[in-house]
Structure 1
């Protein structure tokens, strides 16, 4: 259902949805676990917003997005922080490729589940918790979706 909803929306709608959700739900996970030592995810979100508003060129935003992905790799010891940074990076990357918005569900739902249940939680508990977060993501997208969008993003899924 989320994939179909994504396919029917514009690039701008998808980017704003992903950025809004990341700022509201995932950035607090990162901040609680890592920051103030590492502001890279916040910077990627801020520069993505600046690009959408026409205040910066894509180059600086892409650099910040890549730095956010590096932050994720560097925090492998904390699955919630790592998944939050991966999701934030994907959400920020949705400004130039709307397909990246699916990263919110792929990484973000798991980040939230790990944050709530702990890194040692078994998959049998993580999976339904993550599914619940995916449902909330879908509802958030439906809330901002444009019915009958005349300019839906052209998304080709790799699978």
Structure 2
């Protein structure tokens, strides 16, 4: 097996910069909601394909929704979310499922650290690429998939984005 990249894309890629600029003008809740919905629809099925009985990722996404709806406290959500990291480690040797678990790990931690939202793009693109073409293609092929998938992610955020959001997230990307 080829050496597998944990994530696809780079912080200075035009499609990542475009996504970052859109994220910067949205509220924390909008960003969290977008990450969670996108991951549930597009990333979770990649993990569930090989681990249909493992509910940790789905439970983490549900915990984020419950937190957004004020049904559970942050500390309760964090306990459930922590299980995703364990699932990702346990998926070693399954690049698509492991990248999906990492993407959901990043997605769900946006409730605490909104900059984790970029993990959806980096790890999510890897999960989708590894599922669709495996791990033995040239870097350019993966870069093209990452660009395409990040564009889809940005389109999904644009659909729920608040125009002239009065309370945009305070973000320092550190990248």
Q: TM-score, normalised on structure 2?
A: 0.87
Which residue is equivalent to 2:32?
Answer: 15
Is the counterpart of residue 61 in structure 1 residue 77 in structure 2?
Answer: yes
TM-score relative to the length of structure 1: 0.95
CA distance in 1, matches of 2:141, 2:94: 18
Q: What stretches of structure 1 move > 2 A for 4+ residues in a row?
A: 119-124
After superposition, where does 1:87-102 map in structure 2 within 5 Å? 87-102=103-118
Structure 1, 95-104 or 116-125: larger mean CA deviation: 116-125
In structure 1, how many angstroms separate the alpha carbons of the residues matched to 2:156 and 2:170? 21
1:88-118 Cα distance to aligned partner (Å, 9 max, x none): 1111111222111111101111111111111
Q: CA separation in 2, counterparts of 1:61 and 1:123?
A: 37
CA distance in 2 between partners of 1:42 and 1:86 (Å): 13
Q: Which residue of 1 aligns with 2:41?
A: 24
Match of 1:138 in 2: 154
Q: Give the deviation of 1:57 after TM superposition.
A: 1.0
1:105 pairs with one of 121, 125, 130: 121
Q: Which residue of 1 aligns with 2:56?
A: 40
Instruction: Return the alpha-carbon distance in structure 1 between the equivalents of residues 91 and 138 of structure 2.
Output: 20
Distance 1:121 1:71 in 2: 26
In structure 2, list runs of 5 or more residues that go unmatched: 1-17
- Whether 1:125 aligns to 2:146 is no
Structure 1, unaligned stretches of length 5 or more?
none
